[in-house]
Structure 1
Amino acid sequence: MAGLPKLPGLTFSDPTLSKFNRASTFEIRNGYKLPKAEYTGIGGRQLEVNSVAYIEKGDPVRYDPSLTYGRTRSRALPQFTPHFVLYDQKCLNFTAFFKQSVFDSPNEYYRVRQVNLIYFLEDDTITVMEPKIPNSGLEQGRLVRRNRIPKTDLGDYWHWKDLNLGKDICIYGIVYHIVDCDVFTKEYMRSQGVILKDPEQIPQDPYTMQRKMESMASVGKTPPADDKLRRFLEYDGKVLNFDALWDDRDSEYGELRYYKVLYFLADDTISVKEMHERNNGRDPFPMLLKKTKLPKIWTDRPVDYPSAYMELSDAEVTEFYQPKDLLVGETIFILGRKFLLINCDKFTRNYYKKVLCIDQKPPIEWKEKPKEPPEKPMPPHDGFGGLEDSLQNTLTFLPQPPKKDVIRQLLNANKYLRYEMIMDAVHPEDKIRKFLLNYSLAEGNCKIYEPPIRNSGITGGKYLSSTYLIKPGSDPLNPCYYNPADLYIGARIYVFGTVFIITDADLAVYRYMLDNPDKFPPAVIENLRNHMFKKGYLQEDIDNLVEANKEAEKKAQRDAIGQLVEKKKTELEKCHEAMNIGGGFDNEYDEKMKQKLLREYEQSLIHTYKVPPHGIKPINLVCPNKIIIGDVKSAECQEGELSGITPKHIDTPEEIKQKYYANVLEKHHDICEHGKSVVCKDAPPVGEEVVPEELPTDYLKISPPEFPGESCLAKQVSFADQKEDPCHKDRKDLCNLKQRKEPCDCTQLPPCRTD
């Protein structure tokens, strides 16, 4: 195709070409036009001169040696930052002033106006701003718009290098003298190598100084001491208030009358106001004396003064009453009447203390104390309704319900103490009847319910609704009601002529007594404890108490074991101590952390369930089968057997022996209760699992034991190394599990009351 002549019919066009535009020879980088390193042809097609065929041997531009030898590591080129980005919002602030001539004014010839020259480093422009001064009468603000200020007629402009302190610059015909600049300007000029001169002071404006001198207070003559206007503005509305008494009982039909003496500080006048009481029979004249100046000696007047037709003026009076003359406990004369000042208000006391340095005396009591009203007798109860309801009707005119103890109702809502009773039978058919007594802790009343008995002929159900039960022999007007302290096993309850005997109670009643021991006598708590024990309700509490004692003994032994454990120092710690480096070792802190870990381990071994201290005393029963126990091996660990703290999942030697003897204990219980016999054996060696033995089929059958009715009994167990104890605290220590055995005195419990 290349050799054919360019004649019609011999030229061919490429149908895939669709772009025929000429490529540009510049590219834009960071806002600047830069020539391209390589050019393209029409439509962006590669030129043949840029192909490999035209590469010369020594052409370093289009030949890349890295294709042959690999690329070398080179430092990254610094990032280019344009000038307008580097100095964006950065300005040089100079303080300057210029003098403006004033014509046709006799007060001033020129003015000194302060301005700020702001030079923008971003584009080398300058603006002139004048701070606004209130009441100056001048158009202040921006004096020169921001632009490049010409320096000369040759096209030069002002640059920051031309600015310095103490220099005059001309901007559009006005000469500005630079006197100071800010901190940023000083640092920038110093960084560019420009040495600034010392700052100067702006000269004072003559007219402004004249105005300041005129506004200053002028020195005049001293005002008079008694300035009425000043006193009015300072003391208007401030009044000294005194309580006073006029004793007129020396005259006929005279009495002791109560007044208010008001002293007005604004003009030193006094007024007297009479305080009327209800139904005193006097005319309601509000003021005894109107507001006027009161002379101290009202009879003191000149001899030749014509008082028959002229009143006294201030010139004829020698002295008027002043605040220093009005003191609590003193007597003043008001136109011939003697008034005793008995009290003053709080403002008056503060005024005398702060202004006159006088402490007013305490108030004087002058009123007689009212007699106490006689005590109203309580009317007798007419028998209708409750006593509290009838008494409440006598206190108010309109009947109101009696007030209740809301706090007691909130704390004891839906709480009842339940007892089982029988009737002190008068008739034989009443012996089989049983009753349930519910005592409400919220209201203090009782209700009785009778469970139905089939084929008895007696209809059960509600026997008594909620009511207060009155003790026999109490005062009808001040009755004494039954309370929980009067309800115990064997107590006799009188219910409207019918006598009931309490025979049983809930376990919740015993729990309530233990939680509130101050509300019950000790004999009542002991009575209910013995009853609960005989019924077998406290067996779980006894077991929990024994288990708590065992846990306490285990903890004591673990504490003794933990004290023997010593922390060994590592080789690194020994090396640090020898080289005397580190300084971060705290033996006291390490000891605390070791004790903390030991306590956490002990807490993990203790049972989470704790038995509350119900105050159960250990009561031992008699077992008719005496057991002789031989020598028992000690459960203490020998030296060398304990290498550290025993893990939680491995039994200690003490626990192995306890499990073994616990099995013996259960067998001994079978002897006492079911007649099974057992013999205590030695404990298995440490590490061997305890396998329960099967009971022989031909064991000795023993009849069930008979428990005597005494209140203090002891188990009959003999130990080989100890004499028989008639009374023993630990009920289940049969094979000497290294628990302390202390003999105790048997205390005779009081018998239950049957009356």
Structure 2
Amino acid sequence: MAIRNPRLPLLPGYGTNPLLGKKNFGVRPVFASIDKVNMLVDKAEGVNKVPSMYSRKQAPDLPTWIMYDKNILRFQGFFQQSLHEMRSASHILRKVDIFFFLEDGTIKVIEPKTENSGLSQGTLISRQRIRLPFSYDMYYDVLDLNIGREVTFYGKTFKIVNCDNFTRVFLNRLGINVPDPIPWPDAIERSPAGGKPPKQRPFKQFLDYDRQVLRFYGYWDDRDSEFGILHNMEIHYFLADDTIEIKEVMPANSGMEAGPMFLKRMRLPRKIPSHVEMTGGPKQASYGPADLSIGAILNVFGRNVVLTDCDPFTKEYYRVTYGFDTFTPLTIPNKDSSECVSTNVSERKLPPWNGYGSYDDSAENCRTVEPKAPHRDFMKFIHKDRVGFDSHILRFAARLITDNPEDERRYFIVKYFLCDDTIGIFELGERNSGFKGGKFFRRDKMYLPDVEFFVPNEPPAYTDKDMWVGNELVINKHRFRLISADEYALRYLELHSDEYPMANIALIMDKIRRFLASQENGYKNFVAKYMEAVLPNNKELMSVRCFKQALKEIMCEKMTQHEFLTLVRHFRGDPGKEKSPRREMIRSLVFTELTRGLWDDRARLREGLVHADELGTGAVAPERLRQLLRAHRLTINTDLMDCMLQVLEKDENCNIYYEDLLKFLDFQTRPVFNLTEDDYQKVVRHAPPLKDTECKLWAENENLIQEGYVNWNAFLCQLNLEHLVKEQS
């Protein structure tokens, strides 16, 4: 290697570069055979001293960088750092992890990070080979590291106190004895010199308990004072500096505005300090974690705060620190309890109703100077308002109960609106009857008879539980008897039979069953008497008239007309007979309109209906069916189409069977009905299907229970009283 001439200046062109003209800069590759595999050896042997400790031919044949790849020895230790700027302590203890890499003999030192420590922690010494002190060619090796030894890395002395299990096993296999772990210096118990109490280390407490807060729930009862109330409190105890803060929890819509904090964060003294203590006397003892528990009472400058409960973190802290296992919360006193309230506040009463407006309007005028609209039951309105064809309106036919023969022939429609519990009454006037018809009573709440109206609270009114066939309603001194109901009302009551016992077939059958079981030979005589009343050609059917007579004899007046109507509908033995003549009347009107429009395309209509029935249930929704009828250009108006859809057969979900529609539109079975223009006006124009129906149709529905047949065998089978016959025999 050429040496630079010091007499020449260090300028370009005056020096000689020893690398000029050199072409080969690489390291000569050395190949070795390892397990009969030729491998490139790019690291020289003898980097560390581990293989040299074995006897000849007992050391591993593999190189160390393969044999000890990813094998790391881990030691735990500490070093002391001097503090020149603090009077409270001369040094601070810092814990580290020392890693020794067996692959190449490098060492790495890491200090675990501690939150809010104020120190620069992490990697203190990056991975590298470290020379022994006062040596230039010797480095720290595995034999220099062990528990109890002190090592010096770049002027810092580290005391090794522990190691992991892998390190202990590895050193033991090398024949190196590993001592037991040494406790950390801060865990060594020392007796106080000269009986002095141990010094408080607030910085250590801050590092150990920072962000750890005990939370309790409690109350302060201030009801003994004038206008005092029960205050709900939340108590926070900070373990980092033994301070307490208390905030008041205000309930929603209480009308009160709480301050930012009931007690700001501070050390809470056990008793109120005197003037001397506040101006420089000895410090008063403050509340600590041992003073806080469920049921404890804190003296917050003269206010007694009772602790009633705590959060899960607080329970776990006391379970680990103090060994508590029972955390039974205390009950908070009732705010309305008269035991703790010194002043009794009387309940606010409204003046009697004066007859102007409704009860709700009058109450709002009395509560506030600026009256507001009364609040209606919005949830009930949402669920019981009209939804498509589901009107949620119960329609009943009614007659007046009076001694005047002219009023006895008058027909009324009583509508009960489920959305707001109101009732509207309409009269169906007949020609030359002397009564015009129309609205009889406007829609409003109808109150029960013989109640006092001019009272502060609203009197009881009729509800949907009072709407059943056979019941009598007294409305504005008019007595109405409900004689029948439309199909929607009957079906609605039956679908909600758990709310309406008059339409609950299980309760009705149980009533009949209990009555027959209580009579001696009652069921036996009942079956024997009406055994011959069945039809000769069909032993299962019995006429409705005979069935009603049989129930009337055994039940007398204990069964209402609506219950009997429910039985007839449930045990109907001839489904075809229950169709009203109105169906044939409407059918005749439909065929008249279709004939005028020259419509006869049932085959294409069937194809469209089958295509619309994707699930193959045989039924189509009413709104979808209406669209299909308009698409196939049926020459009927909207009112007549509504009448036709009303009389068609429906399933449980009120979907219409389209096979019944095709039978309805079959020209081969066209009905022979001589309808006049007056009949057309009655059926279609003056009586839409979802509104009022005319008197003739109500009379036909009323006579339905007097016609047809009942399945007598199904009725006896559901009674299930055959065992009584055997016992009585």
TM norm structure 1: 0.35
TM norm structure 2: 0.36
Structure index of larger Rg: 1
